[in-house]
Amino acid sequence: MLNVLIVSEEAQELCSLFRLSGFAPDGADLQQKDLTAGGVPAVQSRYDIAFLDIDNEGWRERLLDLRQQMPVIAFSHPSIKAAIDAMKLGASDYLEKPLTSEALGEVISRYKKKVLTQKYGFDEIIGTSAVIQAVYGLIKRAAVSESNVLITGESGTGKELLARAIHRWSPRSERAFMTINCGAIPDTLLESELFGFEKGSFTGANYTKKGLLDQADGGTVFFDEIGDVSPLFQIKVLRVLQEGEIMRIGGARQIKVDVRIIAATNIDLKAACQKGLFREDLFYRLNVINIHVPPLRERMEDVPLLVGQFIKKHAVKRKDMVIKGISSEALGILMRNSFPGNIRELENIIEHAISFTGSPEILPSDLPSYMFEARVSTRAPIPRMRDAVIAFEKELIASALKNSGGNISRAATSLGIYRQQLQRKIKDLGIAI
């Protein structure tokens, strides 16, 4: 059951309509602040979805506040302008008054799935560990701001997934999300790819082509692997960030583009700046909000949840058998690994295990052999110095005693120590004679 918040001067009357339609609503008027986690985005709201009356004064502030925590459905007397205003400010949907049971049922069922999956993670970004919860908080904050975002983290930690989530939760979500795989664009194609070209600008240009930035107008551009780009690329991107304008090859005028930039890298860009490999001015323009994604080994408590998710995702590929889960032994082996390839590695392991397992449960034998090597090395740690010395002494004394036929004085002489000294050692080390 979803918890519905209705924010309207007519909240009381509307509550009964919601109740009749089978929902559990709470009403508030626009002045009431304490009903939600309003103004304190870090606090999890107890509501799943809000309905906001935009015929009432003060709805804008309330919308900005609420949309950070839940989908907000705006409603008003029929007005296209009001609907556009609300959607521009980040409302997820719009309904006309008078509200009806059918309209409510329809809109709520549309959001139900989204809201329920979000309770266990941010869209498909799974995890309940404290470190990933902190990342969710940053995603929400980044989503509602217009600032550029730099996502850093090791390979396979989910940087692209985060970039998409930020876009999806931003007011730009209805517009394009364009990924630019920076490493894949050679300098010779850079301008035509990013900015496009005008018909006739060079041999073979027999049509006008929009560039990637132009296509993303109003939306989000994701520069993936930004750490790998050439100096020329850096200058071109910097200019777009500074001026908000592009010029097509062969074009006669600047074209305004309105894009929000999210960039990602697995290298240390600050260090690259110090070495002179990356422009510092570009770094600061990109790094307005920094989101660092922790490696999987720092949040191993998320592994069982992720494994469950990946089993669900890939089990459908087996037509001959229903794969239900993973044995606790196999999960234990996964938990003892450090996953240098992060979540991508874990997903590959599960996908592979599902394809080859002969049982409805993933077993240790379905896991790749290197998983076990990691286990052996953690099971047999290098002995500590003191333990090694004790073991050596024990062995030496036992063998001297054996040679002397159990005679302590002779054994002591052969070891080059006094009889009393040997007696104490035999007692301390618990050697049987």
Residues that bind ligand ATP (CB under 6 A): 124-127, 153, 155-161, 266, 306, 309, 343-344, 347
Q: Which is nearer to ligand ATP, 51 or 122 (CB)?
A: 122
Residue 335's Cβ-side half-sphere holds a number of Cα atoms within 13 Å equal to 12
Beta bridge partners of 220: 177, 260
Q: Which is nearer to ligand ATP, 368 or 383 (CB)?
A: 368
Instruction: Give the pairing type, strands 289-292 and 149-152.
Output: parallel
Q: What is the closest distance, in whole angstroms, from the C-beta atom of residue 261 to ligand ATP in the complex?
A: 16
Q: Which of ligand ATP, Mg ion, none lies near 157, with the C-beta cut-off 5 to 8 A by kind?
A: ligand ATP
Report DSSP letters for 318-353, one per residue: -SS----EE-HHHHHHHHT---TTHHHHHHHHHHHH
Q: Which is nearer to ligand ATP, 101 or 155 (CB)?
A: 155
Q: Which amino acid is at 143?
A: A
Q: What is the closest distance, in whole angstroms, from the C-beta atom of residue 160 to Mg ion in the complex?
A: 4
Q: Which amino acid is at 137?
A: G
Q: What is the closest distance, in whole angstroms, from the C-beta atom of residue 163 to ligand ATP in the complex?
A: 8
338: left (phi over 0), alpha (psi -120 to 50) or beta: alpha
Q: Which of ligand ATP, Mg ion, none lies near 227, with the C-beta cut-off 5 to 8 A by kind?
A: none
How many angstroms separate the CA atoms of 322 and 24, rounded? 37
Q: What is the closest distance, in whole angstroms, from the C-beta atom of residue 141 to ligand ATP in the complex?
A: 18
Instruction: Give the residue nearest to ligand ATP (CB).
Output: 158
Site string for Mg ion, 123-162 (x = CB under 5 A): -------------------------------------x--
Q: What is the closest distance, in whole angstroms, from the C-beta atom of residue 151 to ligand ATP in the complex?
A: 8
Q: Which is nearer to ligand ATP, 140 or 159 (CB)?
A: 159
Q: Which is nearer to Mg ion, 145 or 266 (CB)?
A: 266
Q: Which of 220, 219, 118, 213 is nearest to 163 (CA)?
A: 220
Phi, psi of 404 (to 5 degrees): -90, 5
Q: Which of ligand ATP, Mg ion, none lies near 127, with the C-beta cut-off 5 to 8 A by kind?
A: ligand ATP
Residue 180's Cβ-side half-sphere holds a number of Cα atoms within 13 Å equal to 29
Q: Which of Mg ion, ligand ATP, none lies near 124, with the C-beta cut-off 5 to 8 A by kind?
A: ligand ATP
Q: Which of residues 155-214 bind Mg ion (CB under 5 A)?
A: 160
Q: Does 29 bind Mg ion (CB under 5 A)?
A: no
Q: Which is nearer to ligand ATP, 68 or 309 (CB)?
A: 309
Report DSSP letters for 266-291, one per residue: SS-HHHHHHTTSS-HHHHHHHTTEEE
Q: What is the closest distance, in whole angstroms, from the C-beta atom of residue 333 to ligand ATP in the complex?
A: 20
Q: What is the closest distance, in whole angstroms, from the C-beta atom of residue 211 to ligand ATP in the complex?
A: 23
Q: Establish whether the linkage from the previous residue to 98 is cis, with ω within 30° of 0.
A: yes
Q: Which of Mg ion, ligand ATP, none lies near 156, with the C-beta cut-off 5 to 8 A by kind?
A: ligand ATP
Q: What is the closest distance, in whole angstroms, from the C-beta atom of residue 362 to ligand ATP in the complex?
A: 17
Residue 242's Cβ-side half-sphere holds a number of Cα atoms within 13 Å equal to 10
Tokens 């309105």 locate to: 258
| Residue 249 contacts residue 202 (beta carbons within 8 Å) | yes
Q: Which of Mg ion, ligand ATP, none lies near 125, with the C-beta cut-off 5 to 8 A by kind?
A: ligand ATP
| Residue 280 contacts residue 307 (beta carbons within 8 Å) | no
Q: What is the closest distance, in whole angstroms, from the C-beta atom of residue 347 to ligand ATP in the complex?
A: 5
Instruction: Give the pairing type, strands 255-256 and 245-246.
Output: antiparallel
Q: Which is nearer to ligand ATP, 76 or 309 (CB)?
A: 309
Please compute Rg for the chain using Cα positions.
32
Contact residues: Mg ion, CB under 5 A: 160
